[in-house]
């Protein structure tokens, strides 16, 4: 049973070895391990802070982008509205111009018709006078002087005026 009960010298040397090993590990191993753990904890905190800052920055950027997008949409709507108004105004202007030109063409055509009609009536009167003079000359058998011609012309014109 001696194995079960330790001797006083073994206990002393075991305790002394344990304390020396504990002191050596504390000085050599424990401090570097704790400093490494502290450094790791510090890096993790910094990473979390950076991640939070990045998250805030990305949210801010997203909000700005959404605002820019909304502004661009509004501007596009305004541009489309202005273009529609301009197109409508141009359409109205073209219609007015076409109507004006059509009215001018119609008025010109009417003037030309009136002139042609007046010219045709004048030619018919001249022809009627000439025919009347020729018929009168054949019936009378003599030639008329200028005064007789003028009176016949006036009388014929008066009769033609009554017919119109």
The DSSP string of 52-86 is: HHHHHHHHHHHHHHHHHHHHHHHHHHHHHHHHHHH
Query: Per the domain annotation, does 17 fall within a domain?
Result: no
Is the per-residue pLDDT at 120 higher than 50?
yes
Query: Per the domain annotation, does 154 fall within a domain?
Result: yes
Give pLDDT tens digits for 67-107: 999 999 999 999 999 999 999 999 999 999 999 999 999 99
Query: Per the domain annotation, does 2 fall within a domain?
Result: no
pLDDT reported for residue 123: 85
Range of the domain at 148: 44-163
Number of domains, the chain: 1
**pTM for this model (two decimals):** 0.41
Question: What is the distance, to the nearest Å, from the Cα of residue 103 to the centroid of all Cα atoms in its chain?
Answer: 34
Integer Cα distance of 114 and 125 in angstroms: 16
For 137, residues 6+ apart whose C-beta sits below 8 A from its C-beta are 143, 144
Asked whether 128 and 160 are in contact (CB, 8 A), the reply is yes
Query: Per the domain annotation, does 23 fall within a domain?
Result: no
Query: Per the domain annotation, does 113 fall within a domain?
Result: yes
Neighbour count for residue 12 (Cβ, 10 Å): 11
pLDDT reported for residue 3: 59
Query: Per the domain annotation, does 20 fall within a domain?
Result: no
Average the pLDDT over each of 15-19, 111-115, 142-146 and give the range with the smallest value.
Answer: 142-146
Give pLDDT tens digits for 4-54: 676 777 888 889 999 998 888 887 877 788 888 999 999 999 999 999 999
Residue in the structure block whose two tokens are 């030619």: 123
Query: Per the domain annotation, does 107 fall within a domain?
Result: yes
């Amino acid at each position: 049973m001696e194995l079960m009960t330790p001797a006083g010298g073994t206990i002393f040397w075991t305790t002394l070895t344990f304390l020396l090993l504990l002191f050596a590990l504390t000085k050599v191993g424990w401090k570097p391990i704790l400093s490494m753990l502290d450094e790791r904890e510090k890096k993790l905190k910094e990473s979390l802070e950076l991640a939070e800052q990045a998250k805030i920055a990305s949210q801010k950027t997203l909000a700005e982008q959404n605002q820019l997008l909304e502004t661009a949409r509004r501007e596009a709507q305004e541009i489309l509205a202005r273009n529609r108004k301009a197109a409508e105004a141009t359409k109205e202007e073209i219609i007015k111009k076409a109507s004006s030109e059509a009215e001018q063409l119609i008025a010109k055509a009417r003037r030309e018709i009136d002139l042609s009609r007046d010219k045709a009536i004048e030619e018919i009167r001249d022809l009627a006078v000439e025919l009347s003079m020729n018929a009168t000359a054949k019936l009378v058998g003599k030639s008329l002087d200028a005064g007789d011609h003028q009176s016949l012309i006036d009388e014929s014109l008066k009769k033609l005026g009554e017919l119109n």
